Amino acid sequence: MTAKEAVAMAEPRKKKTAPRADAESMAARQRDISVSEFFAKNRHLLGFDNPRKAVLTTVKEAVDNSLDACEEAGILPEIAVILEDLEPNRPATAKSSRYRITVIDNGPGIVRKQVENIFGRLLYGSKFHRLKMSRGQQGIGISAAGMYGLITTGRPMTIFTKPKAGQPTHHIELAMNTKTNRAEVTFDKEVKEFPPRRFRDMSAGTKALAEQGGFLTESEFPTGTSVSIELDGKYQKGRGSVDEFLELTAIANPHARIVFVPPTRVTEDEEPDVLAAAEATAAAKATVTTETNGVIVFPRGVQELPPETREIQPHPKGIELGILLQMLKDYELAEKGGTLYNFLQERFCRVSPQTAASMCQAIGVTSRAKAGDIEPPQAEKLYKVFQESKLAPPPTDCLAPIGVRQLLAGMLKGVRAEFYSASSRTAEVYRGRPFQIEAAIAFGGELPADESARVIRFANRVPLLFQQSACSSFKAVTETAWKNYNLQQPRGALPVGPLVIMIHMASVWVPFTSESKEAIADYDEIRKEMKLALMECGRKLGTYLRKRQKMRREGERRDVFERYIGEISKAIHEVTGQDQRKVFDALLKQAKARTAVADQVLDEDGKIVKDEPMDEDGVIVVPDAIAPVPGAIPAAAPAAEASPAKGARRRVAAEGTEPRRAAKPRKASAAREELRARVAKAASRGKGDPGAAGLF
Amino acid sequence: MAKGKTGTRSLKERDAATTKKIVDLVADVARKSLGGKEPKIDIPTRTKSNTIWNKKRGILEMGDGVAERPLFDLKTAKQFMQTMLHASTIKDLIAAEKTSSLRGVFYKAKHTVAGTRENTFDTQDESDPILEDLEVALGALREELHVFAENRGSMVGNITIVDKGDEIDCRRMGSGGYALPSIVEPDVIQFKKCEAKFVLHVEKGTVWNRFNEDRFWEKHNCILTHGAGQPPRGCRRLLQRLNQELKLPIICVLDNDPWGHYIYSVIKQGSISLAFESSRLAIPEAKFLGIRAKDFRECGLDDAVKIELTENDVKRAKEIAAYPWFAGHRGWQKEIDALLANGFKMEVESLITKDISYVSETYVPERLRKKDWLD
Ligand SMILES: Nc1ncnc2c1ncn2[C@@H]1O[C@H](COP(=O)(O)OP(=O)(O)OP(=O)(O)O)[C@@H](O)[C@H]1O
Ligand SMILES: [Mg+2]
């Protein structure tokens, strides 16, 4: 600003502008704000802050819904995610492009009359009012995505849904009116085919996969839903990408099969993000997926659905006074003259007749007192009684934790490491809502050794990709003393090392910090459980690392001895004339006996000796992934000309001076395959008992 | 003492005895290996704790302490292997009737351990102590192992010797002197004719050059030697033979610092690592002429000659003062106290600041006349 302007600003205003508003004039402007209008203006609250995130959030909302619907209907999810680039010929400088995002599931479908509500109204859903674990909870997700598409492209959503096998499919196109928060249907027809056939012929990749029966096979979709949204967006790989989301979803949902058809073109980034690119390649390598002509398949890891969850009543300890008052009112409305005694038992969980009676007594009313007659001061007393009473924690069959076995299966599938451990805590309560924390860690193998650990977070099996540092789980990780488990950790930061940390919170209501469901709010109860789960995993890792260190030391020790035995037996032969080979073998035998610890786990070629590679619950060790001791040199047999013994086990072949790394990869993957198969088999055996550990 | 038939035969017998010792040692290892027992070699310890001060004889002797050197111990595995290699190398040397320098033995046994990138020996510093271990383990002298050290140290003076049959007149050795070989046993070196009345042993070649250039040995009828710092075994053995066989006093001129005191102590009583050889190396009668802590004032030296004592020097001085053979010695306690009180050390060369030949023409003759020395 110029000096003149500055002076002008500093001077007090002399001239009075138009008269200020009064109550009347203001009243003229006071009116309803439609929720849709509100969110249209505040799209960042829903995760549509920028074009790249818009693509991800849309995919995420649709996939979440598909998984929820499948599980609720007891169907093993078969999901296709298709990204079509509608402006493939845009100039390289274009910051965004138009995409059509389609998610197709084999879920139960949606009955015709609900379609407008579900896709055309914000805050309409089946999950908000109940205490049951599901991915979606707010009734915003898919309609918000549709709204974003509409705002940016003007194009309606396209829905195909088939609620009954053998019956026609509804093909509906609708747009949301943001003023009225209602859908306007622009197309409504019944068609025969489901899933829409055109997707199968999209590319060579989809055709090939469809021919093998691996893509949108009609018989696999007796019912289901397909949602397409056109939007202005940007597709890129790396952190926070659709690829990462699906990769992590596959880890937390080993029972789902997901096929991803990425767009033909990736948006150029003006300032190439080297880190993101590196992470993308690492992520691509880390996922055990198959890729045919660009189509990525995340295979199904286990054949069992998560156990069905039950809806529960609120727990007395999780209720606020205002809600208690409202519940009393609602009860009176519904039950006209119902007693407090019954109210307590019917509208809360864990309240037995005795407890109800003693609660009535505690606030000085009889068991026959009517709920409608309870005055606010008595309600307040009741509220206090709730807090002080000793009640069983809420039932936990409303939760479907992933379970130790499936956590391990998921991690093994998604992360190439040498050590895996998992822990599933028992259910706990925050604000009267049951929740359960699970953690898993993967260590070593191909993970980068000198970077901060990667934390992957899940809430009700949904990966959380943003706002890591605002998340309770992040705090729990940094507050855990990883140094106790032989890991490095800068003060107040993530541990450093080849480590992936997974945290899952399962709850009937996950307390997110915002509607975009990106970070878990930091409740003490939750953070405490997270830390306990991490400590359990960490302890197992610590034990393993110490054991491995010992093993390594013993291995090195034996190496040292074996290295010298050749020289010694040669010298003995030269001085005394003793048979060199005999002396060598005798000394080798002694060396091995003396370093038996190393032998317990690995034989001399590094193969698994024991059948069971793990000796603790919730732990998997992939011995082949263990990095060789740096600089280790294989021991040698005595010089060849002096030891003609045939058939003797020779550790060193022609390339004897090569470090042991050679010929590893093939063996490693074979062992890994075998392990994976075992895990999968084991997991399917343990049906209905997903939380139990100790299978291995 | 001439070499005759008997000499050769006794040499052969000696070699046969040494060879047997080596074979016995290695055969024991072989037996243990094949019998499933841990192979170990017993090696008398060459450490301070296993050194005994024989007050009566005035020398350091090796105690009975023996350390096991097992194969299956990370600390000793490599040394075990090295010991076996050297045992084999020595046996070959004897069989071939050849001798070798320490360096030669090192190179003969040095190679890459089969199938690795590791050397059996990396430096000669690793090899030499293994040979000393073998000496004590076998109870054999170094010459019996056919090993010698490089020549180190020089001698001139009024003496004629015979070295491997060659007569050597030490009065006609020019500026370099007679290089002291590492093996000076009577079967190699005999004293033929000696007029000298004492031996003046100086620390370094530079000082020795000064005395030789000034023909000190001629003027004072003596033998002049140096050992290039800490005198090697050959030098010490020859001094001992001159002392014992020819009854010549050994007078030392060393630096005025803990290192000089230590050299004197080694010449006089023997060293810890070679305590087993003390009886043929130590010269309890050896005398320390200087230079002394008092010399800075007595000789009126310039401040420039002072070299400040380091922390390590102070520590070393105190250690030396506590050696049993110095601990009970009033004169030496005073001398070391004076050094510490000075807070500086002086090299023999510092006397040159007075005059280039002050040390050879004034200092040493005066002190000799006054018999002003420590012993
Ligand atoms: N693919 C589908 N198959 C069957 N029902 C579906 C499908 N997608 C959505 N629904 C139904 O539509 C409702 C609204 O979905 P929406 O995503 O808007 O909200 P939500 O999943 O309940 O909560 P959130 O806002 O947290 O996602 C769901 O509650 C579910 O009953
Ligand atoms: Mg949803």
Lowest mean per-residue pLDDT among A120-124, A634-638, B19-23, B68-72:
A634-638
Among residues B113, B131, B148, which one ends one of the domains?
A: B148
Lowest mean per-residue pLDDT among A7-21, A24-38, B18-32, B180-194:
A7-21
CB contact under 8 A, B85 and A564: no
Question: Distance between CA A619 and CA B149 in Å, rounded?
Answer: 61
Please check whether residues B231 and B274 belong to one and the same domain. Answer: yes
Name the pLDDT band for A77 (thresholds 50, 70, 90).
very high
Lowest mean per-residue pLDDT among A377-391, A393-407, A528-542, B3-17:
B3-17
Please check whether residues A380 and A425 belong to one and the same domain. Answer: no
Please check whether residues B43 and B130 belong to one and the same domain. Answer: yes
- In single-letter form, the type of residue at position B220 comes to H
The minimal CB distance from B72 to the residues A561, A563, A636 is found for A561
For residue A281, the model assigns a pLDDT of 43
Please check whether residues A377 and A422 belong to one and the same domain. Answer: no
Reference B290, options B248, B340, B351; nearest CA is: B351
Q: What ligand has the least distance to the C-alpha of A517?
A: 1
| Contact between residue A497 and residue A419 where contact means Cβ atoms under 8 Å apart | no
Please check whether residues B233 and B89 belong to one and the same domain. Answer: no
For residue B237, the model assigns a pLDDT of 93
CB contact under 8 A, B85 and A576: no
Q: Which of residues 113-152 of B touch A (CB under 8 A)?
A: 113-118, 120
- Other CB atoms closer than 10 Å to residue A644's CB: what's the count? 8
For residue A145, the model assigns a pLDDT of 92
Number of domains in chain B: 2
Of the ranges A84-93, A263-272, A473-482, which is most confident? A473-482
Ligand 1 atom closest to residue A107's alpha carbon, by position in its atom list: 3
CA of A206 to the centre of ligand 2 (A): 27
Residue A633 has pLDDT above 60, yes or no: no
* CB distance A161 to ligand 1 below 6 Å: no
pTM, two decimals, is: 0.60
Residue A640 has pLDDT above 60, yes or no: no
For residue A17, the model assigns a pLDDT of 60
Q: Measure Cα distances from B276 to B53, B60, B137, B172, B372 in Å.
A: 12, 8, 11, 36, 32
Lowest mean per-residue pLDDT among A24-28, B283-287, B303-307:
A24-28
CB contact under 8 A, B33 and A590: yes
For residue A476, is it within any domain? yes
Name the residue with the closest Cα to ligand 1, atom 12: A118
Site to probe by mutation for ligand 1, drawn from A105, A111, A118, A138 as the one with most ligand atoms within 8 Å of Cβ, is: A118
Average pLDDT, stretch A192-210? 91
Average pLDDT over chain A reads: 79
Please check whether residues A49 and A161 belong to one and the same domain. Answer: yes
Question: Distance between CA A480 and CA A211 in Å, rounded?
Answer: 50
| Contact between residue A221 and residue A106 where contact means Cβ atoms under 8 Å apart | yes
Among residues A245, A263, A298, which one ends one of the domains?
A: A298
CA of B17 to the centre of ligand 1 (A): 98
Q: What is the pLDDT of residues A451-476, one digit of tens each?
A: 999 999 999 999 999 999 999 999 99
Please check whether residues A70 and A102 belong to one and the same domain. Answer: yes
Q: Is the dihedral of CA A508, A514, A520, A522 positive or negative?
A: negative
For residue B8, the model assigns a pLDDT of 52
Q: What is the pLDDT of residues B117-127, one digit of tens each?
A: 789 999 999 99
Number of domains in chain A: 3
Please check whether residues B296 and B360 belong to one and the same domain. Answer: yes
Lowest mean per-residue pLDDT among A269-273, A659-663, B198-202:
A659-663
**Residue entry with tokens 């020289």:** A567
The minimal CB distance from A652 to the residues B33, B39, B115 is found for B115
Residue B259 has pLDDT above 70, yes or no: yes
Question: Distance between CA A85 and CA A662 in Å, rounded?
Answer: 44
Please check whether residues A216 and A330 belong to one and the same domain. Answer: no
CB contacts of B38 in chain A (<8 Å) are 590
Please check whether residues B33 and B171 belong to one and the same domain. Answer: no
Strands B250-253 and B198-202, bridge-based pairing = parallel
Average pLDDT, stretch B21-31? 94
The minimal CB distance from A568 to the residues B27, B36, B81 is found for B81
Among residues B148, B175, B201, which one ends one of the domains?
A: B148
Which of A550, A552, A561, A575 best tests the B interface by mutation, with the highest count of B CBs <10 A? A575
CB contact under 8 A, B78 and A636: no
CB contact under 8 A, A571 and B23: no
For residue A27, the model assigns a pLDDT of 78
CB contact under 8 A, B80 and A564: yes
For residue B48, the model assigns a pLDDT of 84
Average pLDDT, stretch A125-130? 71
Residue B223 has pLDDT above 60, yes or no: yes
HSE-up of residue A452 (Cα within 13 Å, Cβ side): 11
Residue A653 has pLDDT above 90, yes or no: no
Residue A366 has pLDDT above 50, yes or no: yes
For residue A16, is it within any domain? no
Task: List the single residue in A with minimal CA-CA distance to B93.
Answer: A575
Looking at per-residue confidence, does A133 or A532 come out higher? Answer: A532
Please check whether residues A290 and A336 belong to one and the same domain. Answer: no
Residue B168 has pLDDT above 90, yes or no: yes
Q: Is the dihedral of CA A661, A667, A673, A675 positive or negative?
A: negative
For residue A624, the model assigns a pLDDT of 66
CB contact under 8 A, B81 and A634: no
Please check whether residues A139 and A245 belong to one and the same domain. Answer: yes
Please check whether residues B189 and B212 belong to one and the same domain. Answer: yes
Shortest alpha-carbon distance between residue B82 and chain A (Å): 8
| Contact between residue B7 and residue B28 where contact means Cβ atoms under 8 Å apart | no
Residue A274 has pLDDT above 60, yes or no: no
| Contact between residue B295 and residue B366 where contact means Cβ atoms under 8 Å apart | no
For residue A307, is it within any domain? no
Question: Distance between CA B132 and CA B273 in Å, rounded?
Answer: 9
Which of B21, B24, B71 best tests the A interface by mutation, with the highest count of A CBs <10 A? B71
Active site residue B107: yes
Name the pLDDT band for A16 (thresholds 50, 70, 90).
low
Please check whether residues A479 and A531 belong to one and the same domain. Answer: yes
Please check whether residues B232 and B340 belong to one and the same domain. Answer: yes
Q: What ligand has the least distance to the C-alpha of A106?
A: 1
Which of A559, A572, A650 best tests the B interface by mutation, with the highest count of B CBs <10 A? A572
CB contacts of A585 in chain B (<8 Å) are none
Please check whether residues B266 and B324 belong to one and the same domain. Answer: yes
Question: Distance between CA B354 and CA A472 in Å, rounded?
Answer: 83
Average pLDDT, stretch B90-113? 92
Please check whether residues A117 and A189 belong to one and the same domain. Answer: yes
CATH of the domain at B96: 1.10.10.10
Interchain CB contact of B88 with A (< 8 Å): yes
Query: How many interface pairs between A and B have CB atoms less than 8 angstroms apart?
Result: 99
For residue A33, is it within any domain? no
For residue A46, is it within any domain? yes
For residue A133, the model assigns a pLDDT of 81
The minimal CB distance from B33 to the residues A557, A575, A583 is found for A583
For residue A629, the model assigns a pLDDT of 42
* CB distance A120 to ligand 1 below 6 Å: no
Please check whether residues A468 and A563 belong to one and the same domain. Answer: yes
Shortest alpha-carbon distance between residue B20 and chain A (Å): 10
Please check whether residues A291 and A337 belong to one and the same domain. Answer: no
CA of A125 to the centre of ligand 2 (A): 8
CA of A65 to the centre of ligand 1 (A): 5
CA of A138 to the centre of ligand 2 (A): 7
Among residues B127, B148, B169, which one ends one of the domains?
A: B148
For residue A696, the model assigns a pLDDT of 25
Backbone angles phi, psi at B189, to 5 degrees: -120, 125
Lowest mean per-residue pLDDT among A110-124, A586-600, B262-276:
A586-600
Please check whether residues B181 and B136 belong to one and the same domain. Answer: no
Lowest mean per-residue pLDDT among A91-100, A550-559, B101-110, B285-294:
A550-559
Please check whether residues B143 and B177 belong to one and the same domain. Answer: no
E strands, A106-181, are: 157-162, 169-177
For residue B300, is it within any domain? yes
Please check whether residues B58 and B181 belong to one and the same domain. Answer: no
For residue A9, is it within any domain? no
Lowest mean per-residue pLDDT among A82-86, A90-94, A342-346:
A90-94
Instruction: State which residues form the domain around B213.
Output: 154-370
Average pLDDT, stretch A401-421? 87
* CB distance A356 to ligand 1 below 6 Å: no
Residue A396 has pLDDT above 80, yes or no: no
- In single-letter form, the type of residue at position A583 comes to V
Residue A695 has pLDDT above 80, yes or no: no
Please check whether residues B206 and B85 belong to one and the same domain. Answer: no
For residue B3, the model assigns a pLDDT of 39
Q: Which of residues 35-64 of B touch A (CB under 8 A)?
A: 36, 38-39
CATH of the domain at A109: 3.30.565.10
For residue A364, is it within any domain? yes
CB contact under 8 A, A634 and B87: no
Reference A387, options A333, A331, A432; nearest CA is: A432
The minimal CB distance from A568 to the residues B23, B84, B117 is found for B84
Question: Distance between CA B317 and CA A404 in Å, rounded?
Answer: 68
Structure-token pair, residue B235: 């030098």
For residue A517, the model assigns a pLDDT of 83
Average pLDDT, stretch B327-348? 92
Instruction: State which residues form the domain around A346.
Output: 316-388
Average pLDDT over chain B reads: 89
Residue A583 has pLDDT above 60, yes or no: yes
CATH of the domain at A352: 1.10.8.50
Please check whether residues A288 and A367 belong to one and the same domain. Answer: no
Interchain CB contact of B320 with A (< 8 Å): no
CATH of the domain at B294: 3.40.1360.10
CATH of the domain at A476: 3.30.230.10
* CB distance A127 to ligand 1 below 6 Å: yes
For residue A254, the model assigns a pLDDT of 87
SS3 at position A78 = strand
For residue A310, is it within any domain? no
CB contacts of A574 in chain B (<8 Å) are 88, 91-92
Peptide bond into A638 cis (omega under 30): no
For residue B87, is it within any domain? yes
For residue B59, is it within any domain? yes
- In single-letter form, the type of residue at position B330 comes to R
For residue A113, the model assigns a pLDDT of 92
For residue A439, the model assigns a pLDDT of 96
Average pLDDT, stretch A653-679? 40
Reference B112, options B98, B126, B122, B125; nearest CA is: B122
